[in-house]
Amino acid sequence: MKLLVIGSGGREHAIAKKLLESKGVEQVFVAPGNDGMILDGLTLVNIDISEHCKLIDFAKENDIDWSFIGPDDALAAGIVDEFNRAGLKVFGPTRLAAELEWSKDFAKKMMMKYHIPTAAYVTFSDFEEAKAYIEEQGAPIVVKADGLALGKGVVVAETVGQALEAVYQMLLDNKFGDSGARVVIEEFLDGEEFSLFAFVNGDKFYIMPTAQDHKRAYDGDQGPNTGGMGAYAPVLHLSQSVVDTAVKTIIKPILEGLIAEGRPYLGVLYAGLILTADGPKVIEFNSRFGDPETQIILPRLTSDFAQNIGDLLEGKEPNITWSNGGVTLGVVVASNGYPLEYAKGVLLPAKTDNDIITYYAGTKFVENRTTLLSNGGRVYMLVTTADTVQAAQENIYKQLENQNTEGLFYRTDIGNKAL
């Protein structure tokens, strides 16, 4: 089998690596990928995720059995619909099913209609109306750009002033372009956050181990929101009954709702949840795997990944199994300055060859293919599995201390919430 993974980050590295380890898979292409992936035997294809026609031609010319779409922007742009129209098999939701992620307003309407627990909200496109609402509600309050904003379109405002500033930037200053032409203003929810992922085909779904991301840039959840600086799975201090409740009140009804709306879902569904005093509530839905959560979830998959996805694509019952031992934890190493301005071209340490996996995100080889340089905000991630969170932290942080991370930074407290 020959497979194609679309995307370029650590998430796609983890997906592609796991697929290549599957039985009967000869070659896994990644478009466009990043150079560090070559070290794991993956084949890069120099086509951008926005060039759907070129990707389709590539898949046809190279007899790709099926493709796996990583990033949200490709899904929002309808890449799955186009692959389907071209007669190609592809794992990911259609543009209409993916609207759950690309429009927060649509997601909220779905949750209201199908009685799925989430924060109360109102959507505005008029600044004065938004201002009046915020002044009436008071703080803390949450302001979100309606569209995709690379995880940066959310402001948890501690004061009315901060909330007004955020709305001003989105509605009047056009900070997020069209994504910020409407804002969702919602109730602040207090509780512990976790992520719940499922492989989905219509009304059938297969839950993955719970995961916890660390979205802020610096230790102690300080600094700006990022794509995610580290994660671990499973979140053992969340009881099975919390997961069962989330499945029953959130995952099942949203998938049934999508079917009722004529938008059946195929792909990975990602529920970003918060455990409030009234039980789990939805912060957001994403229509794809999380990054960096994928990198700590997929190493725990004990079944044949390519077989599982192939079965889902054919409407068969997949036999998906997970390791139930220990915990898998990963720490992202990012360029100094990320998620704002950062330099590229920092020399990266050699790949580890012990029981730590290196997933690459923003990397580039210099011509001779012996020297790997940083080429993005999040650069690489070290992942390991150990009996306890402490043991996993020790392995990873010892390794990081021995690496030359000049020009780069990482959080030193990934997993501390589980201690």
* Contact residues: ligand GLY, CB under 6 A: 151, 213, 227-228, 286, 290-291, 293
Q: Does 183 bind ligand AMP (CB under 6 A)?
A: no
Which three-class secondary structure state does DSSP give residue 320?
Answer: coil
Nearer to ligand GLY, 7 or 227 (CB): 227
CA 155, CA 283: separation in Å to the nearest integer? 13
Within 233-262, the residues that bind ligand AMP by CB under 6 A are none
CA 13, CA 180: separation in Å to the nearest integer? 31
With CB cut-offs between 5 and 8 Å by kind, which of ligand GLY, ligand AMP, none does residue 193 bind? ligand AMP
Least Cβ distance, residue 352 to ligand GLY (angstroms): 23
CB 407 within 8 A of CB 345: no
Least Cβ distance, residue 42 to ligand GLY (angstroms): 21
Nearer to ligand AMP, 189 or 296 (CB): 189
**Direct distance between the N- and C-terminal alpha carbons of the chain, in angstroms, rounded to an integer:** 43
Joined tokens for residue 83: 């692959």
Nearer to ligand AMP, 223 or 272 (CB): 272
Question: Which region, judged by CB under 6 A, interacts with ligand AMP, from 185-193, 227-235, 255-263, 371-379?
Answer: 185-193
Site string for ligand AMP, 64-103 (x = CB under 6 A): ----------------------------------------
The owner of tokens 């120099």 is 46
Least Cβ distance, residue 81 to ligand AMP (angstroms): 25
With CB cut-offs between 5 and 8 Å by kind, which of ligand AMP, ligand GLY, none does residue 214 bind? none
Pairing of strands 90-91, 141-145: unpaired
With CB cut-offs between 5 and 8 Å by kind, which of ligand AMP, ligand GLY, none does residue 189 bind? ligand AMP
The owner of tokens 């799925």 is 116
CA 188, CA 145: separation in Å to the nearest integer? 15
Residues in contact with 341: Cβ distance below 8 Å, sequence separation at least 6, in sequence order: none
CA 351, CA 208: separation in Å to the nearest integer? 28
CA 163, CA 350: separation in Å to the nearest integer? 44
CA-based nearest residue to 198, from 96, 93, 279: 93
CA-based nearest residue to 170, from 155, 192, 191, 186: 155
In the list 163, 189, 231, 235, the residue contacting ligand AMP (rule: CB under 6 A) is: 189
Pairing of strands 121-124, 43-44: unpaired
Nearer to ligand AMP, 148 or 327 (CB): 148
Q: How far out from the chain centre does Cα 27 lie?
A: 24
Q: Residue count at the site for ligand AMP (CB under 6 A)?
A: 16
Site string for ligand AMP, 123-162 (x = CB under 6 A): -------------------x-x------x--x-x------
Which residues of this protein are in contact with ligand AMP, per CB under 6 A? 119, 142, 144, 151, 154, 156, 186-189, 193, 215, 225, 272, 283-284
